[in-house]
Amino acid sequence: MGVGSSTGSRPSRSGRAITAAGLAAVLAVSLSACVQSQRQGDGGDTFVFGAAGAPALFDPFYASDGETFRVTRQMMEGLVGFAPGTAEIEPELATDWESSEDGTRWTFHLREGVEFHDGTPFDAEAVCANFERWYHQTGPGQNAALSYYWIETFGGFASDERPSLYSSCEAPEAGTVVLELTRPTSKFPDALGLDPFSIQSPTAMEKYGADEVRARGSSFEYSEYARKHPTGTGPFEFASHDESNQSVVLERNEDYWGRKAGVDRLVFQVIPDESVRKQELLSGGIDGYDYPNPADLASLREQGFDVRVRDPFNILYMGISQRDNPALRDLRVRQALAHAVDRRNLVEANLPAGAEVAELFYPDSVDGHVPDTTKYPHDPERARELLREAGHPNLEIEFWWPTQVTRPYMPDPRGIFNAIAGDLREAGIRVKPVSKPWNGGYISDVNQGRAQVFLLGWTGDYNSPDNFIGTFFGSTNNQFYTEPAPWGGELADRLEAADREPDPKSRERMYADINRDLKSEYLPAVPLAHSPPAIVTSPDVEGLVPSPLTAERFSTVRVEN
């Protein structure tokens, strides 16, 4: 600290001020000389989308969250894709395909003249390089926190004791890929349209160490490829990710093989708070955002915004775990729960417009959906009767619901809980409420079967019964904990058999049978409702096709200025 003398040749006040100003000016000039503007060509149309969360990374193989896929989907493509506005697959990087009689050998004919963003040609070798990369994951790469969709779809890895669906990939010629599977599956070829199975440039992945992911502290650190150099074949290519401004910028791929993108630039601006997203749309800062609060839809429409409601492709259910409460192992008790709930009222009072009462565990656009299943109309009297018959007239249950969360299938967990708890009490059931933060114990406890009765749901990844009921009841010690039930193992086996059935006709019949028994004999949970999530854009935006899978591609979007 300057203790300097206060007498003598002290410069005058104004003198010091001038010196200081001079120094500052010199500093500013010298600094601006060494910081170069890195601006590139400006201008052109920009579509700005308000995202709810930051993308974790840009390598879809390691991702399982919607905010990441929303971005990678614009840059990358799979062998098959989903037709706009539907959950049906259509040719994408493969123009057509056929499978052997037994469903284990799949031949894909590839689109010609396609290049990755880095100029690497897209061919059969590139496709096989991707499959081999997925199958040969090691260490952290085998963890479900990273390769969830591979494990869910293909099972194990090369160096792993779990059986894998994948056997080999061959490239007999540049335009043909032959995939060998270890068994037939209902997931093929639809699952290849999932974002994690997008085909990425082998050259770029090698150059930027795509597989270099490592555990660090309490999480994973991703590779340079995943953070800065994602390279696909899609209509947009990666430009920048500005973490300090929480925005991701993509630019039009001028060499795209198909119809080129309608805007020059696509920007994702991360805005975690839902109400802030809405205000930003109102003030013109963004052109659109996802999952508007159902309560805002009417006023947004009135103000001239385009609110597009997607076809529902999800399920909200009242789950039942047979682990801790023995009464719940009795079918009659579970039937009583089903009769007790007034689902029509729930849909009308607590879910957004367009929601439907669910009879099965997936929407009717998916194969094997049958109308003639056992119904459980709202009937508190019948519920009491069933409980008496079962010897549990004073049934007491723990009813779990999550806080600090909204999901597309569950926009208001508290409201839904209150409605159902009221219904159950009306049927004479004693309800002990248990609430936990979604990420603070709810999910982990529910997944261990600790929640006796609980609220949860699922959004479908693609059009397959297996993606819904196979995930739910294919295991006996998950959230539903069907282990003590005499039919728990049987149901899991039947689901696996249906998944393995190569003939689509008989497979559909098998799923239809399972669906009937799920409602009559098993009733491991009570399906409640399908809710349609909405997406909203400003009136200047044209060409956005809402997808039931919430998998919109923004290349068709144009912005009128």
Partner 1 sequence: MLRYTVRRLGQLVIVTLVLSLLLFAWLRALPGGPVSALLGERATERSRAELVEQLGLNQPLYVQYWRFLGRAVTGDFGVSTGVQPGTPALEVFLQRMPATIELSVLALTIAVLVGIPLGYVAGRRQGGWLDNLSITWSLLGVAVPVFFLAFLLKYVFAIELGLLPASGRQEAGTNATHATGFYVLDGLLTREWDAAWNALLHLLLPAAALSTIPFAVIFRITRASVLDVLEEDYVRTARAKGLGAAVIRTRHVLRNAMLPVVTTVGLQTGALLSGAVLTEQVFNIAGIGQALSLGFQRQDYAVLQVVIMATAMVYVLVNLVVDLAYAVIDPRLRTR
Please, which of residues 458-487 interact with partner 1 by CB under 8 A? 458, 475, 477-478
DSSP string, 50-119: EESS--S-S-GGG---HHHHHHHTTT---SEEE-TTSS-EEESSEEEEEE-TTS-EEEEEEPSS-B-TTS
* Nearest approach, Cβ of residue 339 and partner 1 (Å): 27
d(CA 329, CA 334): 8
215: tokens are 């555990």
Amino acid symbol at 131: F
Q: Which is nearer to partner 1, 440 or 489 (CB)?
A: 440
Q: Which is nearer to partner 1, 189 or 441 (CB)?
A: 441
Q: Which is nearer to partner 1, 32 or 506 (CB)?
A: 32
- Is residue 283 a contact point for partner 1 (CB under 8 A)? yes
- Give the gyration radius of the chain's Cα atoms: 28
214: tokens are 């490592």
- Is residue 349 a contact point for partner 1 (CB under 8 A)? no
Reduce the secondary structure of 293-353 to three states and give it as a string: CHHHHHHHHHCCCEEEECCCCEEEEEEECCCCCHHHHCHHHHHHHHHHCCHHHHHHHHCCC
Among positions 32-71, residues that touch partner 1 (CB under 8 A) are 32, 35-40, 42, 46, 48, 54, 56-57, 64-65
d(CA 484, CA 323): 7
Cite the beta strand spans of 113-235 per DSSP E: 166-173, 176-181, 214-216, 219-221
* Nearest approach, Cβ of residue 446 and partner 1 (Å): 8
**From 129-137, 140-148, 254-262, 495-503, span contacting partner 1 (CB under 8 A):** 140-148
- Is residue 276 a contact point for partner 1 (CB under 8 A)? yes
- Using alpha carbons, select from 256, 313, 268 the residue that is nearest to residue 77: 256
Q: Which is nearer to partner 1, 341 or 559 (CB)?
A: 559
Q: Which is nearer to partner 1, 175 or 441 (CB)?
A: 441
d(CA 133, CA 141): 10
Q: Which is nearer to partner 1, 3 or 304 (CB)?
A: 3
- Is residue 321 a contact point for partner 1 (CB under 8 A)? no
Match 């190569």 to its residue by tokens: 502
- Is residue 77 a contact point for partner 1 (CB under 8 A)? no
- Using alpha carbons, select from 363, 367, 360, 366 the residue that is nearest to residue 509: 367
Between strands 80-82 and 89-91, the pairing is: antiparallel
- Is residue 6 a contact point for partner 1 (CB under 8 A)? yes
**From residue 93 to residue 122, what is the string marking binding to partner 1 with x (rule CB under 8 A)?**
------------------------------
Q: How are strands ordered across the β-sheet holding 453-459?
A: 356-357, 525-530, 314-320, 453-459, 396-403, 430-437
427: tokens are 């049927």
Torsion of the alpha carbons at 118, 133, 168 and 500, rounded to the nearest 10: -110
Q: Which is nearer to partner 1, 54 or 360 (CB)?
A: 54
- Using alpha carbons, select from 58, 412, 482, 358 the residue that is nearest to residue 229: 58
Amino acid symbol at 277: R
* Nearest approach, Cβ of residue 158 and partner 1 (Å): 17
Q: Which is nearer to partner 1, 277 or 507 (CB)?
A: 277
Residue of 245, 299, 506, 520 that binds partner 1 (CB under 8 A): 245
Count CB neighbours of 336 within 10 A: 29
d(CA 70, CA 51): 9
Residue of 293, 325, 345, 447 that binds partner 1 (CB under 8 A): 447
Q: Which is nearer to partner 1, 144 or 349 (CB)?
A: 144
Residue of 17, 28, 295, 298 that binds partner 1 (CB under 8 A): 28
* Nearest approach, Cβ of residue 417 and partner 1 (Å): 17
**From 114-122, 187-195, 240-248, 378-386, span contacting partner 1 (CB under 8 A):** 240-248
Q: Which is nearer to partner 1, 51 or 427 (CB)?
A: 51
**From 171-179, 189-197, 241-249, 383-391, span contacting partner 1 (CB under 8 A):** 241-249
Residues 99-128 as b/e (b if ≥16 CB within 10 A, e otherwise) read beeebbbbbbbbbeebbbbeebebbbebbb
- Is residue 251 a contact point for partner 1 (CB under 8 A)? no
- Is residue 267 a contact point for partner 1 (CB under 8 A)? yes
Q: Which is nearer to partner 1, 478 or 538 (CB)?
A: 478
- Is residue 159 a contact point for partner 1 (CB under 8 A)? no
* Nearest approach, Cβ of residue 187 and partner 1 (Å): 16
Match 């899609």 to its residue by tokens: 234
Residue 13, classed as helix, strand or coil, is helix
Among positions 189-228, residues that touch partner 1 (CB under 8 A) are 215-222, 226-227
* Nearest approach, Cβ of residue 372 and partner 1 (Å): 31
Among positions 378-417, residues that touch partner 1 (CB under 8 A) are 404
d(CA 238, CA 503): 41
- Is residue 140 a contact point for partner 1 (CB under 8 A)? yes
**From 124-132, 139-147, 180-188, 358-366, span contacting partner 1 (CB under 8 A):** 139-147
Residue 7: Cβ-neighbour burial (10 angstroms; 0-12, 13-18, 19+): exposed
Residue of 92, 195, 280, 359 that binds partner 1 (CB under 8 A): 280
- Is residue 242 a contact point for partner 1 (CB under 8 A)? yes
- Is residue 299 a contact point for partner 1 (CB under 8 A)? no
Q: Which is nearer to partner 1, 145 or 353 (CB)?
A: 145
- Is residue 270 a contact point for partner 1 (CB under 8 A)? yes
